[in-house]
Amino acid sequence: MLALPPLVYYMWICMVDHGGAFYIPTSIDELLALVKRVPAPTRASTLFVVLWFGGQALLQIYAPGDWVQGSPLPDGRRLKYKMNGWFSFWLTILGLFFCCWMGWIPATFLWDEFGPIMTSINILTYVLCLYLYFKGKASPEQTYTGRVMYDYFMGTQLNPRVGNFDIKLFCEARPGLTLWVLINFSIAAKQWQLHHSVSTPMMLVSLFHFFYIMDYYFHEEAILTTWDIKHEKFGWMLCWGDLVWVPFTYTLQAQYLLTHTGELPLWATLGIIALNLAGYAVFRGTNIQKHHFSRNPDHLIWGRPATFIQTVRGTKLLTSGFWGIARHLNYCGDLMMALAWCLTCGVHNLLPYFYIIYFTWLLVHRERRDDAFCHAKYGKDWEEYRRQVPWRIFPGIY
């Protein structure tokens, strides 16, 4: 909580003030100058954040969509979720394009106000997490440890809700993921304003990210069987990650490409597109297989009946299709896409590769947590799954 917010500002300052190179202050004065670069919220950023979060919340409540049952909770209940992300995403994107087209909002607004918006959302996140902390403590579930900082960080409730409004589902996607895509577009617009053209790498990275998020909304229901929704309580870690980390660091490649306008050779462009598509096929294929299987175990996998381990707890562990190749092939696909995105920035600087470095660490760590969690949950059945499917993420390697 102390290190990550400064890191996000630091990387942004490296991008805008130091051409994407790591900047190490060598004196106290330089360090103070760096700290002073952290922008205060502006009137525009505050207004934007209020309208953005308010608008996205209204869409989550009122936009049309099916109500879908989530996975069974430990007490057997199943919560209902309104799946209207696809509609909300398109309405937001097309609505904002229209506003920019009409000249009501400058297309470069999000990049011009990037720093102040980041500060405004940081403040909002800390306050929201305080609310979540006390909300959890006041709830009858009593699912917290009593250690204040730990509970603030990890969360005090699995599914904090106000009425039917699920705060975790909302924050996991709407304000952060859609903002990520929009910031990319705003940076591309800035490149157009500065250079009267948009480079191929900028187009590639903006489209890759757009496609990734569009796909997420298209398969929105699949989030209901993910680790975050099923097992992770909603505290600072997830909330800040969703609202600040994702939109402001996942756009690092576009930030870098704004001023590094060199083009890639055709073979590199085609290679990057192929890597992204292959990664996508593995990522989406794996996630959707588990999702279909958990909804209907008779669902055919690659044209054949699924094979699985029937656990003593009652759950079935899929052992065919992608889930028979590695225990988390979805992470492998995600990392292949991450590499494709970073490669759009060429190989001259390390900072645009921050995403793949951090993401590899995150997913390796996440897989280990999930493995320990599943082992504790399924015991000998999980050991049998490990025996049948020995690879964790990368078949033949890890």
Where do contacts with ligand NDP occur on this chain (CB under 6 A)? 226-228, 230, 283, 287, 290, 315, 317-318, 323, 328, 330-331, 334, 366, 370, 373-374
Q: Which residue is nearest to ligand NDP (CB)?
A: 226
Q: Which is nearer to ligand NDP, 190 or 290 (CB)?
A: 290
Residue among 191 and 276 whose Cβ is closer to ligand NDP = 276
Closest to ligand NDP by CB, 109 or 354 = 354
Closer Cβ to ligand NDP, 215 or 370, answer by number: 370
329-343 helix and 266-295 helix, angle to the nearest 10 degrees: 160
Q: 60 near 83, Cβ under 8 Å? A: no
382, 388, 393, 395: CA torsion to nearest 10: 170
Helix (H) or strand (E) holding 35: helix 28-36
Alpha-carbon distances, residue 192 vs 156, 248, 289, 304, 342 (angstroms): 46, 21, 41, 50, 21
Residue 202 C-beta: closest distance to ligand NDP, Å? 21
Residues in Cβ contact with 193 at an 8 Å cutoff, skipping those fewer than 6 apart: 108
Q: Least distance (Å) from ligand NDP to the CB of residue 38?
A: 24
Q: Are 56 and 175 in contact (CB under 8 A)?
A: yes
Q: Which is nearer to ligand NDP, 191 or 253 (CB)?
A: 253
Q: Which is nearer to ligand NDP, 52 or 378 (CB)?
A: 378
- The CB-of-343 to ligand NDP minimum distance in angstroms stands at 17
Nearest distance, CB of residue 294 and ligand NDP, angstroms: 6
- Closest separation in Å from C-beta 250 to ligand NDP: 7
CA distance 331 to 328: 6
Q: Do the beta carbons of residue 273 and residue 341 sit within 8 Å?
A: no
**112 or 215: CB nearest ligand NDP:** 215
* CA atoms of 205 and 217, how far apart (whole Å): 19
Q: How far is the CB of 224 from ligand NDP (least distance, A)?
A: 10
State in angstroms the smallest separation of the CB of 48 from ligand NDP.
23
Neighbour-count burial for 11-42, b at 16+ CB within 10 Å, e otherwise: bbebbbeeebeeeeeeeeeeeeebeeebbebe
